[in-house]
A and B are shown apart, each in its own frame.
Chain A
């Protein structure tokens, strides 16, 4: 498989496992000896703050920061935070949105507005991006227990975006199995389910 230049910009909220997705993709690159630069910006010790990760594949000498209008793929794990990533997506790029709403207190108490899915969708479309949206409501169960949503999301991403041209399902299965051997079965199940989840591409 040829190694392409491929930049991924990931956003979410601390505590969502944003770093886990990036960790897995980075370890796949590591085993495949593919150049990668993985740059997380985690904020502080507390949960609930903005987190972003910049992943740059395929270049051996590249700076950590992705310029605006140039990420091949944006992965957003939180609806409102998606808006911070829009400007980094390149025209014609893919925007994978896991439509999860992590409401700040003021929003919860009805004192501050929160964007609708439609608003976010329109912003991405206006920036020339293609939305791939996975709902957070029908997270499958494995033997009665909720599966890890970030692994499920990864399945959704592999199903619906061009990431699959550089990373295969087998790569991911191998990486998560090595990382968490004890829960390998449930993780493989989560990837499978993600691969077959319903991804919306239109509102």
Chain B
């Protein structure tokens, strides 16, 4: 045992290593990314770790190992489960002989973007157990435990965390890594289990799935995962799960400081919503007359508490989301528990902080983020605008769909170029639909390289097959950047790990048979705008591959593309360099333009915008 200062995501990685994990696959996504990022930095021969093309692929890669009886894991952010689900339900039906763990991180409060979807809903849909650690140490312990549970029931298990735990750092006790097993026999040929050939097979698998969830209930009960502490009979009780557990002590402290006694409150701290811990829930229902259910996001547990109360025929007041005590929106802190418990006790906090005033915040200057200094995407957004002007159209008449990643920053000022943000890969089919909807002007779709490989290719194939009239701009910066610079299939060979191989996006697009295909450098505004304008006039699918490396990555290798000279004699303070490029390296203060050379990478975009030659490339 050693104590290490690590994050919740790293704790899961160490837990998996201590369980002897054989394969770990995933697709990046805040808040779960560091689980795999940290493994890729370690020297762990014998364990295969990869960034897969998307979450469905990652799940399938992990599942393959579990079919052979090995311990495997896949990792994703909450929206990744949407992508993986098709295979997930199928493997859940079949089961597997090894321990297969799906690590997913939900994001109450949306600090990482997209949605507040509660992955426990997927566990319900697929009858899979879901383990919910409430702190860092438990993230480690339960990662290990998840493999044992999965092996015991012979089926996949969710390990579900939330942003605040996965991103927190603290002391965690960890053990030595266990080397993965190597000597399993070959895959058992079993059509009844591993295919879906016919109704009987499928319904038998469905039955087996339900039995596995029951078995999980027994296994969890035997391992005393949950803690139940019953106090005064006919009193009040609190049921919490996951991160909610970690706020109870603090809430009790706050209540005690305010002379509200907490010794009489029964507490059930749960670490799994599914399989429903009915015995423990019923123990609380039989013991208490008022019960508070504290769970972030959806009232899955709470609804079960209602059902169980009905089945038991007990009259218990249940406080939670259904009665409006709690909201389904946002994350929890100790205040949520304090307020809920006060309501439970029909009391009020004497000094209940009334200052939930948002007035100070309203005076805060808006701080829209924009792409980095030297970002290649900047050239693409400006050129889209220039191409539209070239064709004598108005920006408000040309729909440009956006996709996920840094590429979506085209929605922010000064570009305001993109109209939609839906999900990975949606930009191209959405544009196709807009064309069929009768949109008069050309429709453009923008998408990053990682997103293109993830879920964009199928959309492009569809547009090509149906000969849709649209322009696709693939913004190829060589990395999966938004999530912190992961390697994707298109990343240059020099940066691929071990035996991984680059797939050249240019050849991929050519291979699909795209006839109107332009490969350009987005740092060159004229060529880029010309290519976009031509594509917009072409009848059929046009693809523009805008290629230039992410500036953060080239900066790490100290690449400066040129030295930029600012000639204040020539500058007339028109500020167009700022208005058009929005480059954070250019500032205006005391009536003078200045350049922050620490940020500027010499991309030269501003020099193409300045009409007075005040900004020029030296050499």
**Which residues from chain A sit less than 8 Å from chain B, CB to CB?**
13, 26-27, 30, 35-41, 43-50, 59, 61-70, 80-81, 83-84, 86-87, 103-109, 112-115, 119, 123, 127
Q: A63-B247, A69-B355, A109-B575 are in contact. Are A48 and B589 (CB under 8 A)?
A: no
B333 touches A39 (CB 8 A): no
A61 touches B587 (CB 8 A): no
A104 touches B332 (CB 8 A): no
B364 touches A47 (CB 8 A): no
A9 to chain B, nearest CB (A): 12
Q: A44-B482, A48-B370 are in contact. Are A114 and B365 (CB under 8 A)?
A: yes
A-B contact pairs, 20 of them (CB 8 A): A36-B171, A37-B136, A37-B168, A39-B168, A43-B111, A44-B406, A44-B482, A45-B552, A46-B369, A49-B367, A49-B369, A63-B332, A64-B165, A65-B332, A67-B333, A69-B353, A87-B356, A115-B364, A119-B363, A123-B360
Interface of A: prevailing SS: loop
A115 to chain B, nearest CB (A): 5
Q: What CA separation (Å) do A86 and B353 show in the bound complex?
A: 13
B113 to chain A, nearest CB (A): 8
Tell me which residues across on chain B come within 8 A of A47, comparing CB atoms: 372, 584, 599
Tell me which residues across on chain A come within 8 A of B481, comparing CB atoms: 45
Q: Most chain-B Cβ atoms within 10 A of its Cβ — which of A36, A37, A64, A112? A: A64
Question: Does B380 touch A at the CB level, under 8 Å?
Answer: no
A35 touches B171 (CB 8 A): yes
A38 touches B370 (CB 8 A): no
Name the residue on B nearest A86 (C-beta): B360
Partner of B360 from A41, A83, A107, A108 at Cβ < 8 Å: A83
Partner of A26 from B169, B250, B353, B369 at Cβ < 8 Å: B169
B595 to chain A, nearest CB (A): 14
B interface, size bucket: 35 or more
Q: What CA separation (Å) do A108 and B481 show in the bound complex?
A: 28
Map CB proximity to A onto B133-145 as digits: 1 under 8 Å, 0 otherwise.
Answer: 0011000000000
Question: Does B559 touch A at the CB level, under 8 Å?
Answer: no
A58 to chain B, nearest CB (A): 12
B365 touches A63 (CB 8 A): no
B111 touches A45 (CB 8 A): no
B333 touches A66 (CB 8 A): yes
Tell me which residues across on chain A come within 8 A of B111, comparing CB atoms: 41, 43
Q: A36-B171, A63-B164 are in contact. Are A27 and B367 (CB under 8 A)?
A: no
Q: What CA separation (Å) do A128 and B22 show in the bound complex?
A: 55
Question: Does B357 touch A at the CB level, under 8 Å?
Answer: yes
B171 touches A87 (CB 8 A): no
Q: Most chain-B Cβ atoms within 10 A of its Cβ — which of A63, A69, A87, A107? A: A63
B584 touches A48 (CB 8 A): yes
B369 touches A43 (CB 8 A): yes
B360 touches A65 (CB 8 A): no
B128 to chain A, nearest CB (A): 26
Q: What CA separation (Å) do A132 and B66 show in the bound complex?
A: 57
Q: What CA separation (Å) do A79 and B364 show in the bound complex?
A: 9
Question: Does B182 touch A at the CB level, under 8 Å?
Answer: no
A125 to chain B, nearest CB (A): 11
Tell me which residues across on chain B come within 8 A of A48, comparing CB atoms: 367, 369-370, 584
Question: Does B420 touch A at the CB level, under 8 Å?
Answer: no
Q: What CA separation (Å) do A66 and B254 show in the bound complex?
A: 13
Name the residue on B nearest A31 (C-beta): B5
Tell me which residues across on chain A come within 8 A of B370, comparing CB atoms: 46, 48, 105
B361 touches A39 (CB 8 A): no
Docked complex: B564-580 residues within 8 A CB-CB of A: 575, 578-579
Name the residue on A nearest B485 (C-beta): A45
Partner of A83 from B363, B369, B414, B587 at Cβ < 8 Å: B363
B413 touches A105 (CB 8 A): yes
Q: What CA separation (Å) do A87 and B335 show in the bound complex?
A: 13
Q: What CA separation (Å) do A69 and B360 show in the bound complex?
A: 14
A68 touches B356 (CB 8 A): yes
Question: Does B211 touch A at the CB level, under 8 Å?
Answer: no
B428 to chain A, nearest CB (A): 23
Name the residue on A nearest B369 (C-beta): A49
A68 touches B355 (CB 8 A): yes
Name the residue on B nearest A41 (C-beta): B111
Question: Does B504 touch A at the CB level, under 8 Å?
Answer: no
B582 touches A105 (CB 8 A): yes
Partner of A39 from B167, B355, B365, B367 at Cβ < 8 Å: B167
B475 to chain A, nearest CB (A): 14
Q: A45-B484, A46-B371, A87-B358 are in contact. Are A63 and B250 (CB under 8 A)?
A: yes
Tell me which residues across on chain B come within 8 A of A109, comparing CB atoms: 575, 578-579, 588
A64 touches B365 (CB 8 A): no
Which 7 pairs from chain A and chain B are nearest by CB? A69-B353, A63-B246, A64-B164, A65-B333, A67-B335, A86-B360, A83-B364
B575 touches A80 (CB 8 A): no
Name the residue on B nearest A81 (C-beta): B364
Tell me which residues across on chain A come within 8 A of B333, comparing CB atoms: 63, 65-67
Q: What CA separation (Å) do A84 and B15 show in the bound complex?
A: 36
A45 touches B331 (CB 8 A): no
Tell me which residues across on chain B come within 8 A of A103, comparing CB atoms: 365
B361 touches A87 (CB 8 A): yes
Partner of A80 from B170, B364, B582 at Cβ < 8 Å: B364
B578 touches A105 (CB 8 A): yes
B136 to chain A, nearest CB (A): 8
